[in-house]
């Protein structure tokens, strides 16, 4: 069966792979690698620890094989689950309806990957004096795990591109900054007893102490919102912090020995993640746990980090890559994103980066996710002209 020949055919093929984050992504990685090698592009597969998932890193080299300069086109292959959602279409079969294409991952973010893959034959024909990189990652939706590994690979190989375009859905608006995210799980361990022994030395209520910590987290969140840094360019202008999952207890007549809950914070670039978490840890170590141990000497509160993605600080407007993307899109406004992307990881290793891609974040992760057909065409033109201008060629708007 022939490989796709345009961005619509590529999107149809990519959507057919169920790359929900809980699944292996090796089928789609293998398909992409085989296609790239069939047209003469070297593609590396970088496995995770379990070898069930992998990043795909491909290079369209410059004539000199230099690793300096060029553009990284970045996207993630995984998608969020469709469980419990009521779709009007098969989520893993591309559906054309009016001005849109429907399917899981159409906007987040296989649409951008389809655009880039469709351009490979055209990019290969260019007289490239700088490389073009394709960086497709695993597990972005569960903590940017693949992106972390890939950016560290770039750093170790001393690959220094002129810039990176992360094609997350932004309706093709240029995102110049985003918040970071930290996700934490707390395990509170007390002592079980018949509920008639509540408030005695025979018991230690894990839910009670978890509740106190949750209230403290809310107090910290309110203090940061009222007295911390604000940035009006974000939809929510402050750092946010919230407890979103909780589980504890085994019966109504039993004092619970364990309670587990999870909280997250989404920090503005100006707020250090470590400083926020230190406020939680200090409260636990100096106030809450000592009080708990007075009731039960073996009491414990364990806080584990589940995910951490750095913020993407404001892009340097004078950087040539940033100026070029601004010029090509005509977008001169300041857009910032409350969610986290792999852009923060590229920024962390010193690569100029912007987020700009087809589709709207408002429909990502939803039933009947879609991408406007025009967004795909506009994104294709942007990527093509971005590479051309980076090569010193004339762009065609």
Q: In what order do the strands lie in the sheet with 42-47?
A: 42-47, 54-60, 132-137, 71-76, 163-166, 353-355, 175-178, 335-337
**What does the block give as tokens for 48?**
């995770």
Q: Is the Cβ–Cβ distance between 335 and 325 less than 8 Å?
A: no
C-alpha dihedral, 260 to 19 to 46 to 49, nearest 10° = 30
Q: Is residue 115 within a helix (H) or strand (E), and if so which, with residue range?
A: helix 111-125
Q: Is the Cβ–Cβ distance between 384 and 122 less than 8 Å?
A: yes
Examine the residue annotation and report whether 99 is marked as an active-site residue of this protein. no
Examine the residue annotation and report whether 78 is marked as an active-site residue of this protein. yes
**What does the block give as tokens for 73?**
């086109």
* Active-site entry in 108, 139, 140, 375: 140
Q: Is residue 14 within a helix (H) or strand (E), and if so which, with residue range?
A: helix 7-15
Among candidates 145, 178, 339, 182, which has minimal Cα distance to 275?
182
Three-state DSSP class for residue 280: helix
Among candidates 289, 299, 292, 301, which has minimal Cα distance to 190?
299
User: How far apart are the C-alpha atoms of 138 and 107, rounded to whole Å?
Assistant: 16
* Active-site entry in 78, 295, 342, 369: 78
User: How far apart are the C-alpha atoms of 7 and 118, rounded to whole Å?
Assistant: 5
The stretches of 126-267 forming alpha helices (DSSP H) are 145-156, 206-227
**What does the block give as tokens for 86?**
């009521």
Residue 197 phi, psi dihedral angles, 5° rounding: -100, 15
Residue 186 phi, psi dihedral angles, 5° rounding: -115, 130
Q: Count of alpha carbons within 13 Å of 396, Cβ hemisphere only? A: 2
Q: How many CB atoms lie within 10 A of CB 79?
A: 29
User: How far apart are the C-alpha atoms of 212 and 191, rounded to whole Å?
Assistant: 17
Annotated catalytic residues are: 78, 140
């Amino acid at each position: 069966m022939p490989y796709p020949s345009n961005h619509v055919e590529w999107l149809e093929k990519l959507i057919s792979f169920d790359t929900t984050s809980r699944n292996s992504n090796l089928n789609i990685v293998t398909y992409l690698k085989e296609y790239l090698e069939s047209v003469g592009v070297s593609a590396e597969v970088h496995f995770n620890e379990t070898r069930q998932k992998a990043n795909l890193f491909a290079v369209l080299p410059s004539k000199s094989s230099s690793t300096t300069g060029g553009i990284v086109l970045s996207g993630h292959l995984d998608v969020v689950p469709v469980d419990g959602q009521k779709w009007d279409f098969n989520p893993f079969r591309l559906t054309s309806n009016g001005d849109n294409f429907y399917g899981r991952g159409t906007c987040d973010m296989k649409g951008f990957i389809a655009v880039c893959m469709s351009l490979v034959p055209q990019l290969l024909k260019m007289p490239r004096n700088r490389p073009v990189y394709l960086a497709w990652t695993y597990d972005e939706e569960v903590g940017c795990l693949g992106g972390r590994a890939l950016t560290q690979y770039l750093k170790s190989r001393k690959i220094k591109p002129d810039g990176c375009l992360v094609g997350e859905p932004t309706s093709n608006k240029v995102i110049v900054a985003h918040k970071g995210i930290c996700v934490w799980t707390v395990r509170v361990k007390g002592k079980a007893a018949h509920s008639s022994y509540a408030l005695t030395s025979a018991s230690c209520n894990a839910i009670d102490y978890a509740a106190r910590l949750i209230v403290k987290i809310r107090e910290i969140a309110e203090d940061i919102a009222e007295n911390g840094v604000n940035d009006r360019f974000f939809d929510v202008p402050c750092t946010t912090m919230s407890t979103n999952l909780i589980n504890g207890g085994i019966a109504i007549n039993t004092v619970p020995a364990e309670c587990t809950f999870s909280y997250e914070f989404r920090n503005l670039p100006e707020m250090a993640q470590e400083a926020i978490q230190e406020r939680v840890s200090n409260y636990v170590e100096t106030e809450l746990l000592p009080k708990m141990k007075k009731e039960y000497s073996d009491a414990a509160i364990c806080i584990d980090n589940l995910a951490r993605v750095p913020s993407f600080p404001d892009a340097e407007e004078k950087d040539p890559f940033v100026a070029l993307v601004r010029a090509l899109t005509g977008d001169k406004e300041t857009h910032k994103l409350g969610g986290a992307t792999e852009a923060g990881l590229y920024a962390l290793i010193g690569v100029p980066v912007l987020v700009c891609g087809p589709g709207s974040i408002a429909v990502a992760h939803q039933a009947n996710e879609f991408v406007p057909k025009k967004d795909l065409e506009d994104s294709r033109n942007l990527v093509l002209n971005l590479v051309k201008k980076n090569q010193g060629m004339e762009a065609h708007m």
